[in-house]
């Protein structure tokens, strides 16, 4: 299931041991090399007391409408407990706000949000707010992970604009390849053998 990052913020983190919520998601830690959320920074009265306020996504047992379920509060870690997470935190990388350009150098806008899969938290789409001139026709673009060529500290490079827009048009022109048996077409009411008087 795809989940938008802005909807993840504020999500309750539930502990099986505590039998209820222990914190809320404050922000996501995104690894720019894999374009994947690797941890969540949490906030709340139980986690703000110490420095262990990060939740490694590998500790999440389940994500649902109720929130993220973990075993217990001992799953939370400090910034330097896991080397990979510590290295990403040192980069001070934030996907939100990055400029988006094509390989040819055409400016497409900047990232305002992104969506991830709820199973592994891999970034699948970026949502790009268009520049003022282009926003008149198309205020935002949703660009698939497949269209991303490079991510650096300042910008995300995607394939040519025509390819991005073509991929989007093909997605919008999608027609399901199934027939709904409950539609009226092709079905006629059953005839009765009653004779008129």
Query: Which residues share a beta bridge with 73?
Result: none
Q: Which residues contact 9 (CB under 8 A, 6 or more apart)?
A: 25, 26, 27, 28
Q: Where in the chain is the domain with CATH 2.30.30.240?
A: 2-91, 99-172
Looking at the structure, give the CATH architecture of the domain made up of residues 2-91. Answer: Roll (2.30)
11 has a pLDDT exceeding 70: yes
Q: Is 3 helix (H, G, I), strand (E, B) or coil?
A: strand
DSSP string, 7-35: HHTT-EEEETTTTEEEEEEEEEEEETTTT
pLDDT number for residue 85:
94
Q: What is the CATH number of domain 99-172?
A: 2.30.30.240
Q: What is the pLDDT of residues 106-143, one digit of tens each?
A: 899 999 999 999 999 999 999 999 877 665 667 788 99
- Give 1's pLDDT tier (boundaries 50, 70, 90): confident
Averaged pLDDT, 9-29: 93
pLDDT number for residue 194:
55
Averaged pLDDT, 16-32: 93
Q: Is 162 helix (H, G, I), strand (E, B) or coil?
A: helix
Averaged pLDDT, 170-181: 52
**Contact of 111 with 156, CB cutoff 8 Å:** yes
Tell me which residue of 79, 111, 76 sits closest to 97, measured CA to CA.
Answer: 111
Sign of the four-CA dihedral 11, 150, 119, 69: negative
């Amino acid at each position: 299931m795809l989940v938008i990052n802005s909807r993840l913020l504020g999500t309750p983190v539930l502990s099986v041991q505590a039998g209820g919520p222990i914190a809320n998601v404050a922000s996501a830690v995104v690894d720019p090399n894999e374009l994947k959320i690797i941890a969540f920074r949490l906030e709340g009265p139980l986690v703000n007391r110490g420095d262990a306020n990060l939740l490694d996504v590998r500790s999440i047992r389940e994500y649902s409408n109720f929130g993220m379920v973990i075993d217990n509060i001992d799953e939370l870690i400090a910034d330097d407990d896991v080397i990979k997470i510590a290295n990403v935190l040192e980069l001070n990388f934030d996907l939100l706000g990055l400029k988006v350009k094509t390989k040819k150098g055409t400016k497409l806008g900047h990232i305002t949000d992104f969506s991830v899969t709820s199973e592994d938290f891999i970034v699948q789409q970026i949502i790009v707010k268009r520049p003022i001139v282009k926003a008149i026709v198309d205020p935002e673009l949703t660009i698939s992970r497949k269209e991303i060529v490079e991510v650096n500290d300042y910008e995300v490079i995607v394939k040519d604009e025509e390819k991005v827009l073509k991929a989007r048009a093909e997605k919008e022109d999608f027609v399901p390849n199934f027939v709904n048996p409950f539609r009226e077409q092709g079905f006629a009411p059953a005839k009765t053998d009653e004779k008129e008087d």
